[in-house]
Structure 1
């Protein structure tokens, strides 16, 4: 029974930590324990660690830690790439060692020994494509092309020069301080890939998220079918009902079956819990980035639009307050003016309510199918192809 509670606590703690670390900054979790855990994991724990090192080793210890932090967080490095390969490799090896002995089984055929290996290989291939492909680096040779493809909207993008590259900065591009290069249609820098996600490799990144979500779901369902097959082949229900006199109902059988499964297949159940949690997280990431792609927006632009809309709302509120103040002063100065109809202000919309009408006007959003096509077939590739074709003709 102690193991059962340990398994339950393991699943809950894993889920809480994963959600807190990845999603704790979301507005929906503001003021909740999830937000507190997120702050502790991303900031508080590290500060306490620095204080501990400082008390133990002094300034030299802190300097060493900060130099490691600079290498891990501010410079390109393969640490997370190695961790990814270690996770997927070790997880697959554990599944092979603990579960393949039951394949083929009652519900699964032997072909899954090979399809699982193929699925993992495709996942690693997408990882390598995303990690080592050019995200769309802006150079002297292609800058004129990017300037023509992505016009300035004069809202969140205006004509300017990159202070580092000393090149005109195309709209939708951003200089990555980690990779030290300007990237066209910049989305974000992904530490797991040790690469920027931009115009050229967004398609690989989306495919990576989708495939790994499906891979985790496949593993969860396959292991579940293996366990169900073992339950069927071992005739546990028959033994419980006939030899032990357990009532043949869900309420009567469930506790005994769960106890038998946890005692006999605890490793497989732990793997199922882990895969299910990871698949949910991947589903959330994929849905978020798929929405960005279908609206032709990037993660970088999402923050820019938030700042712009916030600034516009404050500007409208300031104008509304100024107009209200002016109206009140005019009302005091014109006491002899006949009073207005008392019903009119009731139906009149408050000037402060107009702040809700401030919305973004994304000129790059050209419709569902065009946006999807632009992600699958990057603009620069199409433009280069057309340029080459016109030269040859």
Structure 2
């Protein structure tokens, strides 16, 4: 019995797919996608003999057909679930709020910073300072947080209002001669697509402030300004005094509570639990007793202790960058070069990794001098001489 033209076309297509399945280098997903799309001429006809032979050969070879659709990652599935639960209007409102807070210039975090700092110092002045004076603590010891506060507010203000090193048409040529181009992270003759200016080495366009900054470090929402060559020194002093003030308040508050426990012999007291058993005062029960007696002091102590550890960690990172003459932007971008050596990172065989080397570090003293005596004013004075 002769086959119709549509059936012959269908048999020919399936035999071609069967040969392609045996050919190495062909994706199984593509094979199955091609085989699942019958021609219009064969629509409605019965499965041909060649088609059954081809499917039988696939089953023998162990190549079970794969689905064309790929499963979404678990993270996207969770986002899809949350998008079904949370109303769309609330999602849009949250998106606008996050965009306003972190992608536009605003004074929200400045106000939050001043409010938190004011609350901590109000509690310290209202309770800790008064109690410590009654316990005859050293006055110089108690006034140290206020001295650090004055320096901190001054450096905070300078960080907020100082020009970080904005690149304009007027100073573009001067900035181009400050730092050397390494041709890896900062190649020559590159223009900013937004500002239409030639990009000096170590500069970057800030998407929040919408300008290019010389020796760009990062954009800090707490000061509502970029951190660049001209205000990095004020930022480091601000970060140092903020960490020191939080640690000092925590130390004074801890000393007050420990002195109170020792004077009242609370650690020698006993208490009866709910089952009628007698116990000596342990650390957990002592903290609970102090929290019930001085709730605001203990809460403030916990807050400034956590803040001291967080700020201390970031301060160590900032000091490391300053000592090695790096910026946060350069450290973050240079981090990608380390991934080339990771065997888990897939890369093209023809790709040749270009490892970034820090060519701007010239010793600890020179690096710190560059931070506190910015490169652009120094270069300008040198040209004038």
Bigger Cα displacement from structure 2, 225-234 vs 139-148: 225-234
> Structure 2: how far apart are the matches of 1:85 and 1:364?
36
Q: Which has the larger Rg?
A: 2
The one-character-per-residue Cα deviations of 1:216-269 (angstroms, maximum 9, x if unpaired) are 11011101111233234435468x49xx9xxxxxx9554575454343233322
Q: CA RMSD in A?
A: 3.5
Q: Give TM-score scaled by structure 2 length.
A: 0.68
1:83 maps onto 2:79 in alignment: no
Does 2:347 match 1:375?
Answer: no
User: Which sections of structure 1, spanning at least 5 residues, go unmatched?
Assistant: 1-38, 245-250, 321-354
User: Is the 2:185–2:356 Cα contact (8 Å) retained in structure 1?
Assistant: no
The answer to whether the 8 A contact 1:216-1:276 is kept is yes
In the aligned structure 1, how far is the partner of 2:334 from the partner of 2:253? Answer: 44
**What stretches of structure 2 of length at least 5 have no aligned partner?**
1-73, 273-278
Greater share of helix:
1
Indicate conservation of the 8 Å contact 1:138/1:181, yes or no.
yes
Equivalent residue for 1:225? 255
> CA separation in 1, counterparts of 2:348 and 2:323?
32
Residue 170 of structure 1 is matched in structure 2 by 200
Give me the whole-angstrom Cα distance separating, in 2, the residues matched to 1:67 and 1:129: 30
Q: Deviations over 1:164-205 (max 9, x none)?
A: 111111011001011011001111111111111111111111
Q: How many angstroms apart in 1 are the aligned matches of 2:137 and 2:247?
A: 15
- For 1:295 and 1:99, the matched residues in 2 are separated by 40
Partner of 1:53: 87
Corresponding residue of 1:277: 306
Trace 1:123-138 onto structure 2 (pairs within 5 A).
123-138=152-167
- DSSP-derived class of the 1:182 partner: strand
2:233 to 195, 198, 203: 203
Alignment partners' CA distance in 1, 2:325 and 2:201: 13
- Which residue of 1 is the match for residue 23 of structure 2? none
1:348 is aligned to: none
Equivalent-residue separation in structure 1 for 2:81 and 2:199 (angstroms):
37
Aligned length: 300
Worse-matched range after superposition: 228-237 or 290-299 = 228-237
Alignment partners' CA distance in 2, 1:183 and 1:62 = 33
- Compared CA separation, residues 145 and 81, structure 1 to 2 (3 A): same
Q: 1:219 to 1:148 in 2, by over 3 A?
A: same
Contact 1:173 1:183 in 2 (8 A): yes
Question: In 2, Cα distance between the equivalents of 1:231 and 1:143?
Answer: 63
Q: CA deviation at 1:317?
A: 8.5
Q: TM-score, normalised by structure 1?
A: 0.67
- 1:361 & 1:228 partners in 2: Cα distance? 50
Cα pair 1:133 1:201 within 8 Å, conserved: yes
For residues 197-346 of structure 1, the aligned pairs below 5 Å read 197-236=227-266, 240=269, 252=280, 254-255=282-283, 257-258=286-287, 260-311=289-340, 318=349
* 3-state SS of paired residue (1:146): helix
1:258 and 1:363 mapped to 2: Cα distance?
Answer: 52
Q: Which moved more, 1:267-276 or 1:254-263?
A: 254-263
* CA-CA distance at 1:110 after TM superposition: 3.5
